């Protein structure tokens, strides 16, 4: 056999979606509930005092940040588990002994995790409409941005899943790195609201660029220029793809 093994991609993709479907109810309910809670706490309680940021209603202002936040965690969580579990359970033997290339493996696992993460993002977007009127200025850019974010964070999660050798290691990066960075990344406030030196320090947080770029697709403006956001996503994609290429070339933590 030669050529592209698209059947393998499809099999893995279906397998992963099936895995997600086993927890479908919680998988869908959790984002709805968290989003609602955020709106009650931030939109209702705090928003009633803040009313507007950069001329945008506070409740609407936090929508892109909320979507991003959930998509970051969903992407990393699902993609890292997707590849970590077979490693942990030993079922990875089958993947390694199948005529499946590195590219096909990545497309399948990352594709499935990104699908899940995009559905969660969409659910939050829809739920947000129950609480606030959100007008999206650049819908196509918004969709494209979501896809890019899902793919790059799933790639990152995939690498994490390959690297991790215990459940603890699997959790530590999302909990200790991504979560704080997201909270400090301007999901709930504008960078302009910070005083120096925090404002400058914040600009070293890559999440700022992602949240800002996504916010731009909604309101036509963000904390930093959209070109910086795009540059950053491109860089992140490139780094992840290089890392994955290296992982498969060397068999790092996959093959002894």
Partner 1 sequence: MASIITVSGLKKSYASGYQALKGIDLEIEEGEIFALLGPNGAGKTTMISIICGNVRPSGGSVTVAGHDIVRSYRGSRSAIGLVPQELHTDAFERVIDTVRFSRGLFGKPRDDAYIEKVLRDLSLWDKRNNKMLELSGGMKRRVMIAKALSHEPRVLFLDEPTAGVDVELRRDMWKLIGELRQTGVTIILTTHYIEEAEEMADRVGVINKGELILVEEKTALMKKLGKKSLTVTLAQPLTQIPPELGEWDLALKSDGSEIEYVFDTRAERTGVSSLLRRLGDLGIGYKDLNTQQSSLEDIFVSLVHQEKAA
Nearer to partner 1, 5 or 217 (CB): 5
Q: If we measure between CA atoms, which residue out of 191, 222, 203 comes closest to residue 56?
A: 222
How far apart CA 221 and CA 200 sit, in angstroms, is 19
Q: Of the listed pieces 68-76, 87-95, 193-201, 215-223, which binds partner 1 according to CB under 8 A?
A: 87-95
Query: Does 253 sit near partner 1 (CB under 8 A)?
Result: no
Q: Find the binder of partner 1 among 37, 96, 144, 177 (CB under 8 A).
A: 96
Query: Does 197 sit near partner 1 (CB under 8 A)?
Result: no
How far apart CA 210 and CA 59 sit, in angstroms, is 19
Query: Does 195 sit near partner 1 (CB under 8 A)?
Result: no
How far apart CA 1 and CA 107 sit, in angstroms, is 20
In angstroms, the Cα distances linking 242 to 63, 78, 103 are: 32, 21, 12
Q: Of the listed pieces 5-13, 24-32, 137-145, 212-220, which binds partner 1 according to CB under 8 A?
A: 5-13
Query: Does 22 sit near partner 1 (CB under 8 A)?
Result: yes
**Binding footprint of partner 1, residue count (CB under 8 A):** 28
Query: Does 247 sit near partner 1 (CB under 8 A)?
Result: no
* Contact positions vs partner 1 (CB under 8 A): 1-2, 5, 7-8, 10-12, 14-15, 18-19, 22, 89-91, 93-101, 251, 255-256
């Amino acid at each position: 056999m030669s050529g592209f093994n698209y059947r393998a991609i499809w099999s893995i993709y279906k397998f992963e979606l099936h895995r997600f479907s086993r927890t479908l109810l919680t998988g869908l309910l959790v984002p709805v509930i968290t989003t609602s809670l955020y709106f009650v706490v931030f939109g209702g309680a705090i928003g009633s005092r803040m009313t507007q940021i950069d001329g945008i209603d506070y409740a609407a202002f936090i929508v892109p940040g909320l979507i991003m936040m959930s998509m970051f965690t969903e992407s990393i969580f699902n993609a890292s588990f997707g590849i970590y579990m077979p490693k942990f359970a030993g079922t990875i033997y089958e993947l390694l002994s199948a005529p499946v290339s590195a590219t096909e493996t990545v497309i399948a696992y990352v594709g499935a995790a990104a699908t899940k993460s995009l559905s969660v993002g969409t659910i939050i977007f829809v739920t947000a409409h129950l609480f606030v009127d959100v007008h999206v200025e650049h819908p196509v850019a918004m969709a494209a941005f979501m896809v890019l974010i899902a793919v790059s964070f799933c790639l990152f999660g995939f690498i994490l899943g390959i690297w991790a050798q215990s459940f603890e290691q699997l959790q530590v990066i999302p909990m200790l790195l991504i979560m704080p960075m997201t909270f400090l990344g301007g999901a709930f406030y504008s960078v302009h609201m910070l005083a120096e030196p925090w404002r400058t320090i914040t600009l070293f947080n890559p999440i700022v660029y992602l949240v800002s770029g996504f916010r731009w697709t909604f309101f036509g403006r963000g904390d930093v220029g959209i070109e910086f956001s795009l540059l950053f996503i491109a860089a992140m994609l490139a780094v992840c793809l290089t890392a994955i290429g290296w992982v498969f070339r060397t068999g790092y933590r996959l093959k002894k």
